[in-house]
Amino acid sequence: MAMMTIKERTGLLDVLRDNVETWSIRVGAERRRDQRRAFAWYYLVPTIVSLVPVALAITHVHEIRVGGIGPILSGVSIFTGLLFGLLVLMFNTGVAVRKDRAVLENAHGVAQVIDDARANVTYSALVALSLACVLIAAAATNRSSDGVLDWGWTVPLVWLGTHLLLNLLTILKRLRTAFNNITR
């Protein structure tokens, strides 16, 4: 039996690809424009936000450091578990929609919205899991007795937190769209 690559074992690229596919339903130049805008929203905005603490530290205006790592890690871990629960719910909903499409004849693309929401929830669960792992690494390497992390951990934590927040806003938008498509 041949050795499987990490890509084949984890499917991480598939999760990313599924999420990126939800950024636009258009084709051609309009699709590329939508995807550039989405890339800026999901990746450049968190980068800018995460560099603010660095700029403040460099200019000596104020040093921002993450403190109270225990409660933050607990909260992120619980939230990650809730995202996995939502993912299971999305899977069950997708199965029900595919099984009984006649119920949703007038739902105007709700099956696609649910599929997109599933892709977004899967990706968000992966980001939340990454955030929890970075928090664990930060806590494990923390040398401070007061529980405040070195400022170097601020950038990845703020980036992942902001990225997660933006993806959660997309999930809320998709759930609202699905509800509106079903009820109208």
For 43-90, what is each residue's pLDDT tens digit? 999 999 999 887 877 776 666 666 678 888 899 999 999 999 999 998
Write down the domain spans for the chain: 29-183
Query: C-alpha angle with apex 34: 29 to 39, nearest 5 degrees?
Result: 125
Nearest CA-CA partner of 118 in 162, 167, 76: 167
DSSP 71-96: HHHHHHHHHHHHHHHHHHHHHHHHHH
**Most distant pair of Cα atoms in the chain: their distance:** 63
The helices-and-strands tally (H runs, E runs) of the chain is 7, 0
pLDDT per position in the chain (184 positions), as tens?
Answer: 456 676 677 789 999 999 999 999 899 999 999 999 999 999 999 999 999 887 877 776 666 666 678 888 899 999 999 999 999 998 888 788 777 766 666 667 777 888 899 999 999 999 999 999 999 998 888 877 776 777 788 899 999 999 999 999 999 999 898 888 777 7
